[in-house]
Amino acid sequence: MATTTDQQNIAEAFLAAREKKTPLTAYPGAVPETMADGYAIQDAAIARDGRRIGGWKVGRIAPELVARYGGNRLTGPIFADEIVDGADGAEPAMPVYAAGFAAAEAEVLLCFGTVEDRDHDIISVRDCIAEVRTGIEIASSPFPEINRHGPAVTASDYGNNKGLVLGPPIADWRAKDLVRMPVEFAIDGETVGAATMEAMLDGPFGSALFLIRTLRARGIAIPPGTWVSAGAITGIHEIRPGQRGEALFDGKIRVGCTITG
């Protein structure tokens, strides 16, 4: 899909705001009305950014907006230089846009192996997965109202992503009932959310299947080693510089980070 001049200008405005760390007080152009429009802006920004993509975040579209936007999920790139390994117990410092929007989310992370060029379903997509980890997605945008104008706007600024913390692996993930695994999230030691993946549509593997189909439609390859952050489990927890976030999976697997501006 060819991008319009306005879409290119929007992409450049987001890139400039991210680089200069300055907030956008208003959306920098015509608000995208469809997911195709949002992804066109995202693709223009990716092309200009030039960094290697190491993964993709997947988020849920609110049920009342599904009919309007034609689907129940959205995606955005996670750049390789913003993917940090916290599996050894270290708590990396993760930057956010202090004057924009910032949140942290407990998520299951799937690492793709080889994605064969064929149609997949919710069962066969598991064969594309080489590793499953716990983790935290950092959602942040220089536009404070990124999530208030619909999923196409969210998608237009990298899906509201600013990084990924890779937590410890789930060693027995093929045999484990991931959907019923209890997950908690705490900020500065206070629990702010607790849930399982039972409410996550068709679960983390459904997110992987959505991503394969969506990226193929956009002509984007999925090389081995690509991560997918499968969706917020306990909620989207707004967080500020100076705070500490920690996710607890299955009552025993911990992954944490500190937030910087």
Q: How far apart are CA 9 and CA 45, in angstroms?
A: 9
* pLDDT score at 87: 84
* pLDDT score at 235: 97
Q: How does residue 139 score in pLDDT terms, banded at 50, 70 and 90?
A: very high
Mean pLDDT of all residues in 148-163:
98
Q: How does residue 207 score in pLDDT terms, banded at 50, 70 and 90?
A: very high
Read off the pTM.
Answer: 0.96
Mean pLDDT of all residues in 151-158:
98
> What is the domain class of 52-260 according to CATH?
alpha beta
Q: How far apart are CA 11 and CA 18, in angstroms?
A: 11
Q: Is the CB of residue 48 less than 8 Å from the CB of residue 163?
A: no
Q: How does residue 239 score in pLDDT terms, banded at 50, 70 and 90?
A: very high
Judged against a pLDDT cut of 70, whether residue 1 lies above it is answered with: no
> What are the start-end ranges of the H helices in 99-235?
151-156, 203-217
- Mean pLDDT computed over every residue of the chain: 97
Judged against a pLDDT cut of 70, whether residue 178 lies above it is answered with: yes
Q: How does residue 229 score in pLDDT terms, banded at 50, 70 and 90?
A: very high
Judged against a pLDDT cut of 80, whether residue 215 lies above it is answered with: yes
**Per-residue pLDDT reduced to its tens digit, 35-74:** 999 999 999 999 999 999 999 999 999 999 999 999 999 9
Ramachandran area for residue 230 (φ above 0: left; ψ -120 to 50: alpha; else beta): alpha
User: Could you give the dihedral angle defined by the CA atoms of residues 9, 20, 161 and 129, in that order, rounded to the nearest 10 degrees?
Assistant: 100
Q: How far apart are CA 247 and CA 255, in angstroms?
A: 5
Judged against a pLDDT cut of 80, whether residue 185 lies above it is answered with: yes
Mean pLDDT of all residues in 72-96:
95
